[in-house]
Chain A
Amino acid sequence: MDNRDTLIEVRNLKKFFSIGDNTLKAVNDISFEIKRGETLGVVGESGCGKSTAGRTLLRLYDATGGDVLFEGKSIMNLNNQEMKAMRRNMQMIFQDPYASLNPRMTVGDIIGEALDIHGLATGQKRKERIQELLSLVSLNPEHMNRFPHEFSGGQRQRIGIARALAVEPKFIVCDEPISALDVSVQAQVVNLLEQLQEKMGLTYMFIAHDLSMVKYISDRVAVMYLGKMVELAESDALYEKPLHPYTQALLSAIPIPDPEVERNRERIVLQGDVPSPMNPPSGCHFRTRCPKAMPECAASAPVWKEVEPGHFAACHLYN
């Protein structure tokens, strides 16, 4: 896997929102890379900044700081024209299948918009391409004149996938594409994404808050907490030997389908709630809930460090 080249490199990415006089550090200095053809899973509790990270790295939000490199080229300084061309490479699938499709446009126009913007196809060709994309995501091509409200959540999510695929991207940020769907439909959508990845050599950043689903689909997994990345490793390594106390706690909350093991294992229950991202604890943001917190955890922030080859963590236990 390591011989695959790097497609995306994120360096010290920051996105702060100002709310009144306060600053909300939604994404605070995260760095990682994504290799061509791999799936990087990103997990974390609601509000930890996963969507903001995905959107900032696609330049849907203006980054407060840091850089994003696509195939070695920074996208932060591209002008409008260059950025428009760059957008063909990187797409996004959204969290809410109801809010992510324009209710006033037909499915054909929603998918065709990508073709129109980049002048990829017109007239009969455009229609054929739209129908081809609908078939690709296992939807009936005859439904191209229907409106989004006529479809189910799972079907809508596939329309969103077809829209993203219309520009033939290399990289797709999947922002919790299944968490709004029924369990029975989740597997269908995940399988579709995997098939498409295989067929087209896609690279994914797969955001979720459910660790078990992420393990299934990801090559590597990153864990976020309050705008920071706390651990990043190959998914097997992360699940077998989590280093960061937060990851350990998240993993211990997943039930194991073996009653014997399940009964005897130790469960780490996190104390308290997630602190407000507006006013995070000093030092390590996790220290208010960490069972292993030490005095130095309040004094200074732990550094992001490669603890074992390919296994990164930010925790004073390993600094």
Chain B
Amino acid sequence: MQQLTKEHFEPISVDLRQAEAIKRPSLSFWSDVWRRLKMNKVAMASMIFIVALLVCAIVIPLVTHNDYFTTDLAGKNKKPSAEHWFGTDDLGRDVFVRIWYGARISLEVGLAAAFIDLIIGVIWGGIAGFYGGRVDEIMMRIADILFAIPYLLVVILLMVVLEPGVGTIIIALTITGWIGMARIVRGQMLQLKNQEFVLAARSLGADSNRLIFKHLIPNALGPIIVTLSLTVPSAIFAESFLSFIGLGVAAPIASWGTMSNEGLPAMKYYPWRLMFPAVFISVTILAFNLFGDGLRDAVDPRLRK
């Protein structure tokens, strides 16, 4: 064995500054989320689908030479062809174009409902959670009561009072839709407001505005965005469902729900009239849900199953 002498040992120089150097590139929370989301293939595919859907819903109705309302009784119930890619319906209207007008309605309803839920939910839940105590108790009881009213009843009542249409559907969906968001935000506020970094800001003299907008909301943003991304598909589904049972948008506007409704009796002979809108409803909702799931995992990796 080799003899080890004192000369073999030399103290290595330690530079404290060097020891404290950070090698990893600096990543903010959101760039970290994006990095994790990119690794999730399903979520990325869903995202690409959603973006494509959005672009098509905006562009196709602008450039197509067909429209959604011109009837052509001679050419009704045509099979899919080069002229009419998705065939025609019982009034000879082009199903392909109607699908994209329907996409506009679905996305409009989904995004508008999610946006309104976001605004009301964050304000309501934020105030209740931040102030706590009696304020919280009263505000959350009101939410509970609203939540307990059967939702179809609300819709039917609204349809009686207001005229049927996209606006009415959005109102119907958001009357109770914001409660989920409010509960999430309230829970986050209650949890965050006693954290030491919030106390630290208070001991520096921060006012409520600063606490809410600089400390609480940014830290609750993850769950808020995830909830938001899952509100969109449920609103799209609700709109399709309401239109399908005849409580939705009125003719001649096309919505995927009304198209399915009209296609249903003809399912045996002209299956494309039901198939196309039904597939679009399913795939769109699936894509939004998968994207929301992926986003949730990316925002909080601990929640991954």
Contacts and interface: CB of A to CB of B under 8 A. Distances in A.
Nearest to A97: B196
B50 to A, nearest CB: 26
A146 B23 CA distance: 11
Given A94-B196, A118-B205, 17 more contacts: A60-B199, A60-B203, A87-B205, A91-B203, A92-B203, A96-B196, A100-B196, A102-B219, A103-B29, A104-B218, A113-B214, A117-B204, A117-B205, A140-B21, A143-B22, A146-B26, A147-B28
Contact of A147 (B27, B196, B205): B27
Interface in B204-241: 204-207, 210, 214-215, 218-219, 221
Contacts of A90: 203
A150 B196 contact: no
Interface of A: 55, 58, 60, 80, 83-84, 87-88, 90-92, 94-96, 99-105, 113-114, 117-118, 139-140, 143, 145-147, 150-151, 155, 160, 163, 166-167
Nearest to A109: B214
B8 interface: no
A163 B90 CA distance: 71
Contacts of B202: 60
**Chain A binding surface SS class:** loop
A102 B215 contact: yes
Nearest to B24: A150
Interface in B15-39: 17, 20-22, 24, 26-29
Max count, chain A CB within 10 A of own CB: residue among B21, B22, B218: B22
B72 to A, nearest CB: 57
A60 to B, nearest CB: 5
Interface of B is mostly: helix
A87 B204 contact: yes
Nearest to B197: A102
B64 interface: no
A140 B205 contact: no
Nearest to A91: B203
20 contacts: A55-B199, A83-B205, A84-B207, A87-B203, A90-B203, A96-B196, A100-B197, A103-B29, A104-B29, A104-B219, A105-B214, A113-B214, A114-B204, A117-B210, A140-B17, A140-B21, A147-B28, A150-B22, A151-B22, A160-B200
The 3 A-B residue pairs whose C-beta atoms are closest, nearest first, are: A100-B196, A87-B205, A84-B205
Contacts of A113: 201, 204, 206, 214
B13 interface: no
B205 A94 contact: no
B5 interface: no
Nearest to A146: B26
B195 interface: yes
A95 B200 CA distance: 11
Nearest to A101: B197
A100 B219 contact: no
A273 B203 CA distance: 34
Contact of B205 (A88, A92, A99, A105): A88
Nearest to A84: B205
Contacts of A150: 22, 24, 26
Given A99-B195, A104-B219, A92 B26 contact: no
B20 A167 contact: no
A95 B204 contact: no
* Most chain A beta-carbon contacts within 10 A, residue among B27, B203, B206: B203
Contacts of A147: 26-29
Contact of A95 (B20, B21, B196, B197): B196
A179 B29 CA distance: 28
Contacts of B221: 104
Contacts of A160: 200
A211 to B, nearest CB: 24
Most buried by B among A60, A80, A84, A104: A104
A96 to B, nearest CB: 6
A189 to B, nearest CB: 14
B156 to A, nearest CB: 42
A139 B20 contact: yes
The interface centre, meaning the residue of A55, A114, A167 with most chain B CB atoms within 10 A of its CB, is A114
Interface in B44-63: none
Nearest to B222: A104
